[in-house]
Structure 1
Amino acid sequence: MITRRQLLAASAASASLAVAPAVPAAPDVLRFVFSRPLDNPRTQWLIRVYTQLTTELGLGFAFVEVPPKRATALVLLGEVDGELGRTFDYQLLYPTLVRVPEPNNAVRFAAYATRPGLRFDTWQALRAGGVRCEYRLGIVELERMLLRELPATQVSAIPTIVQGVKKLLLGRTDLYFDVEEAVGDYLYFLNPAQRHATSTMRQAGVVLATTGHAYLNASRAALAPPLAAGLARLKRQGDVQRHLLAALAAYKARL
């Protein structure tokens, strides 16, 4: 027989369970790296895009700022979940990475010069002319391309666009190789005096035209299709372009 005391105890326990606040489970957080620093407007653009995408998938987003060459190593080791942007063929270099099939944007690798008449036409012409070529560290595609096509004595690397452009203007290199939009952003945000100082610099040819994609560690492969579908939808809605314009405007305001 259930006593009155037992009934009261059971009712009290039920009541305490009923009023206990539910603690929501913390969202799974995707940690991303990128080949550009946190304050770069293109980094801020992709952070805005992928924060919206992951939020819509019920996931969290975190950006981890590391040097470009370390970024891929962290993804391969599974210490972070993905890279915000690398080229389509980056997967050929690191086949265990999973490419998000929908591209973030179009990407072109270009050569820049100050010497009148100097152009990038063929690698053979650069080899024959002893042209001194430089690329920015962390752009693995350019690194492998230049070292494959040219003698090591004709190739050097630089950590930042600022240093690459400065060496080019000083005549310490003949051609500077980088991502076209990165150089375009750098030149766009210069003040008038700085822009005048770079007036002799011009694009000397396009090395490769491709697309940029997010990449995931293999353990996150299942997220590639929903991220791709979401990214395509954000493009149609105009959100991707809106995020880009907002990131560029915020960067210009900081300057």
Structure 2
Amino acid sequence: MLKHALGPRMLSARICFALLLAGLAWSCCVPADAVETELPTRFIMGANTEATSLHGSWNRRIFTEAFRRLGIALEVRVAPLKRLELLMSKGEIDGEMSRAPAYGLQHPELLQVDVVFAQVVFSLYGLKSIPGVSQLEDLRNTNYQGIYRRGVLLCEKELTPLLPARQLTATNSALQGVAMLKLGHGDFFCDVSSSLENEQYSQDFAKFIDLKKLFDISSPVPLNPYLAHKHLALLPRLSATLKQMEKEGLIAKYRQEAEAQMHQLYSLPAADKK
């Protein structure tokens, strides 16, 4: 009855109108970070190291070339690790240059780029050895004061079950952590090897000369870039581009260039760096 009353043209018009309304309703409900089907024209990449650090310089060389090949304008935003995590959750940055697997496990909504530039080790450092402590478990039920860099998830995860909160302090940088050790405000400092390497290739390297590795708390861990989920279309393209650059020997070449830049910036003879 309805079909005959309205006629085929009127019925088609109503169906189209209903579909249009449904489409508008769907678009209103889609979150702002919905998956993009095309490559972005601009990308904000988070980093926790400045361009004047070893790993900061190295990573920027890599991603500047990768995004140039993709025809995407790259902006790098620097912040501490914990702040970068917050910026990612708010959608204020599109990705991060380098994170350990623990970060991906904590944020399954993010996309891991399956390219590894470096492997790092998480360790405890100190100005002197700690009597009776040669592994993490030895810290349990002790009065030792620990320091770790805020946002380094593996350090936080391993230390919090062993020591109460009053015996743990989080800092924003390795430099702050070592300064606290020298002031007697801690017995050890937990961080990732790349962070200490950055400091040793810097104008503050003299402040780290007395720092000793006490022991490792992890085996070698790969570092990967991570993207916000909305950049699903970019993931395979960026991965392929980075892998091609690796085949061309550019990743290793950029590392050498970054090391040379550090020696030039801070007048560090190569023999001083081990």
TM range (shorter): 0.7 to 0.9
User: 202, 219, 222: which one pairs with 2:212?
Assistant: 202
Match of 2:29 in 1: none
2:225 corresponds to which residue? Answer: 214
In the other structure, the counterpart of 1:237 is: 248
Letter in 2 for 1:232: K
> 4+ runs of 1 displaced by more than 6 Å?
none
**Who is 1:22 aligned against?**
none
Partner of 1:46: 59
Mapped to 1, the partners of 2:127 and 2:202 lie a distance apart of: 20
Q: Aligned partners of 1:40 and 1:190: how far apart in 2? A: 10
- TM-score normalised by length of structure 2: 0.74
Distance in 2 (CA, whole Å) between partners of 1:147 and 1:116 is: 21
Q: 1:33 to 1:198 in 2, by over 3 A?
A: closer
1:111 is the counterpart of 2:121: no
How many residue pairs get aligned? The number is 227
SS of aligned partner of 1:129 = coil
Tell whether 2:155 aligns with 1:142.
yes
Q: Residues 176, 84 of structure 1: CA spacing in aligned structure 2 closer, same or farther, 3 A cutoff?
A: same
Structure 2: distance between partners of 1:70 and 1:227: 24
In percent, how many aligned pairs have the same letter?
25
SS at match of 2:232: helix
Which stretches in structure 1 are left out of the alignment for 5+ residues? 1-26
Inter-CA distance 41–134: structure 2 relative to 1 (3 Å threshold): same
Would the alpha carbon gap of residues 119 and 248 (structure 1) be closer, same or farther in structure 2, given more than 3 Å must change?
farther
What is the 5 A alignment of 1:1-255?
Answer: 28-116=41-129, 118=131, 121-189=134-202, 195=206, 198-208=208-218, 209-255=220-266
TM norm structure 1? 0.79
Q: Is the CA contact (8 Å cut-off) linking 1:87 and 1:212 kept in structure 2?
A: yes
The answer (yes or no) to whether the contact 2:104–2:110 under 8 Å persists in 1 is: yes
Q: How far does the alpha carbon of each residue in 1:136-194 deviate from its partner, in whole angstroms, 9 at most, with x for none?
A: 12323322332233211221112222221122233321111111122133234457xx6
Q: Which moved more, 1:238-247 or 1:228-237?
A: 228-237
Change beyond 3 A, Cα 1:156–1:241: same
Q: Is the 8 A contact 1:123 1:150 kept in 2?
A: no
Q: 1:219 to 1:118 in 2, by over 3 A?
A: farther
Q: SS of the residue aligned with 1:80?
A: coil
For the residue of structure 2 that corresponds to 1:167, the secondary structure is helix
Q: What is the CA RMSD across the aligned residues, in angstroms?
A: 2.4
Deviation at 1:223? 1.8
Instruction: Return closer, same or farther for 1:59/1:109 CA change in 2, 3 Å cut-off.
Output: same
Q: Distance in 2 between matches of 1:70 and 1:199?
A: 29
Structure 1, 107-116 or 33-42: larger mean CA deviation: 33-42
Distance 1:47 1:137 in 2: 23
Contact 2:110–2:226 (CA under 8 A) maintained in structure 1? yes
Q: CA deviation at 1:117?
A: 5.1
Name the SS of the counterpart of 2:161 in structure 1.
helix
Gap runs ≥5 in structure 2: 1-39, 267-274
